[in-house]
Chain A
Amino acid sequence: MSLWVDKHRPKDLMKLDFHKDQALRLKNLVQQSDFPHLLVYGPSGAGKKTRIMCLLRELYGSGAERLRQETMHFTTPSNKKIEIMTVSSNYHIEVNPTDVGIHDRVVIMDLVKNVAQTHQIDSSGQREFKVVILNEVDDLTKDAQHALRRTMEKYVATCRLILIANSISRVIPAIRSRCLTIRVPAPTENEIATVLHTVCKKEGLSLPSELAMRIAKCADRNLRRALLMCEACKVQKYPFTSDQKVPEPDWQQFIREIASMILTEQSPKKLGEVRQKLYELIIHGIPPDMIFSGLLCELVRNCDMSMKCQVANHAAEYEHRMRLGNKPIFHLEAFVAKFMAIYKKFVEESLGDAF
Chain B
Amino acid sequence: MNIINKLQDDAGETNSSTIFAVLFEEFVKKETPSKQFEIEVFVVIIGALDKRIKAYQNDIRSFFKVRKPEDGDSDIIPESPQVQIKNKAKRSRRKRALSDDSDESSPKEKVKKKSGEKGLRTKEDESSKNTLKEVKTADLFGNGVIKRSEPLLKKHKATESGIHSDNEFEMSLLELDEIEEQNTTNCSNKKETGNASITDKIVAKEIQKNDSPSKSNTHSVSSKEEHLLPKNEKTNEVANSKETKKKIAIDSSCVDNIKTENNDIKEGAKKADFSEFIESHDNIAPKENTPKSKKRKLDKSLNESVLTDEEKHERRSMSAALYKNYLNRSGPKHLGAKELPQGSPDCLKDCAFVLTGVLDSFEKEEIANAITNFGGCVKSSVTKKVTHVLAGEDAGPAKMAKAQELGIKIINEDEFLQMITNLSNNMQKSKVNEISEPPKKHSKKNYTKSPTDRKMSPKTKTSKVNNQNESKIDNFSKQIDVSKSGIKIENKYDCNLESKSNRDKKASTDNNKSEVEKELNKDIISNDKIVEDNNDQVVDKLGKPENCSSILKSSEQTPSSMLWVDKYKPQNVKQIIGQHGAASNVKKLSDWLMKWYANRKAKLPKPNPWAKNDDGGYYKAALLSGPPGVGKTTTVSLVCKELGFDVVEFNASDTRNKTLIKEQIGELLTTTSLSAYARGDTGKQAVTKKHVLVMDEVDGMAGNEDRGGLQELIGLIKSTSVPIICMCNDRNSQKMRSLVNYCYDLRFSRPRVDQIKSAMMSICFKEGIKIPPDVLAQLITAAGQDVRQTLHLMSVWAIDPKLADAERLRNEAKNIKRDIKLGPWEAVRKVFSAEEHKNMSINDKSDLFFYDYSLAPLFVQENYLQVVPHCPKDKVLERVSMAADSISLGDLVEARIRGSQAWHLLPVQAMYSSVIPGHAMAGHVAGQIQFPGWLGKNSRASKMQRLGQEIHAHTRLSTSGSKSSIFLDYCTHLRDAVVTPMLKDKADGISQSLDVLESYHLLREDLDSLIELSLWPGQRNPMILVESKVKAAMTRAYNKRASALPYAPAHVRRARTSRDTALDDDDEDATDELPDDSDPEADALIKKKKTKDDKPSTKEKPSTSKEKTRKK
Contact = CB atoms under 8 A, between A and B. Distances in A.
Interface string A303-330: 0000000000000001001101111011
Interface residues of B, number: 74
Given A228-B970, A279-B937, A326 B895 contact: yes
Contacts, number: 196
A249 interface: yes
A268 B973 contact: no
A326 B965 contact: no
A6 interface: yes
Contacts of A249: 968-969, 972
B953 interface: yes
Interface in A270-287: 271-272, 275, 279-280, 282-287
B582 to A, nearest CB: 51
Interface string A203-244: 000000000000000000010110010011001000000000
Contact of A271 (B880, B973, B996, B1106): B880
Nearest to B938: A327
Interface residues of A, number: 71
A3 interface: yes
A124 interface: no
Contacts of A18: none
Contact of A50 (B889, B895, B960, B1112): B960
B884 interface: yes
B968 A85 contact: no
B998 to A, nearest CB: 8
B1019 A250 contact: yes
Given A228-B973, A329-B934, 14 more contacts: A1-B999, A67-B1105, A68-B1098, A69-B957, A228-B969, A231-B973, A249-B969, A250-B1014, A285-B967, A285-B1013, A325-B892, A326-B894, A326-B898, A334-B887
A268 B877 contact: yes
B398 interface: no
A291 to B, nearest CB: 11
Contacts of B1017: 280
Nearest to A282: B941
A350 to B, nearest CB: 14
Interface stretch (B488-496, B624-632, B683-691, B974-982): B974-982
Contacts of B958: 2, 6
B877 A267 contact: yes
Nearest to B869: A268
Contacts of A324: 892, 895
Interface in B913-968: 933-934, 937-938, 940-941, 944-945, 948-949, 952-953, 956-968
A71 B965 CA distance: 22
A44 interface: yes
Contacts of B865: 268-269, 271-272, 275
Contacts of A225: 968-969
A106 B977 CA distance: 38
Nearest to A271: B865
B1000 interface: yes
Contacts of A71: 1047-1048, 1050
A249 B976 CA distance: 13
A321 B960 contact: no
Interface of B: 861, 865-866, 874, 876-878, 880-881, 883-885, 887-892, 894-895, 898, 933-934, 937-938, 940-941, 944-945, 948-949, 952-953, 956-970, 972-974, 976-977, 980, 992, 995-996, 999-1000, 1013-1014, 1016-1017, 1019, 1046-1048, 1050, 1098, 1102-1103, 1105-1106, 1112
Nearest to B974: A3
Nearest to A331: B888
A327 B891 contact: yes
A109 interface: no
Contacts of B966: 285
Contacts of B1102: 66, 68
A228 B971 CA distance: 11
24 contacts: A2-B958, A2-B996, A67-B1106, A69-B953, A69-B957, A85-B956, A136-B963, A224-B965, A228-B970, A250-B1016, A266-B877, A268-B877, A271-B865, A272-B866, A285-B964, A290-B968, A321-B892, A327-B934, A334-B881, A334-B887, A337-B880, A340-B880, A340-B881, A345-B878
B299 to A, nearest CB: 91
Contact of B961 (A49, A53, A348): A49
A224 B965 CA distance: 9
Contacts of A326: 891, 894-895, 898
Given A87-B957, A268-B865, A283-B940, A348 B884 contact: no
B186 to A, nearest CB: 101
B891 A337 contact: no
A279 B933 contact: yes
A352 to B, nearest CB: 11
B919 to A, nearest CB: 16
A4 B996 CA distance: 11
B885 A338 contact: yes
A15 interface: no
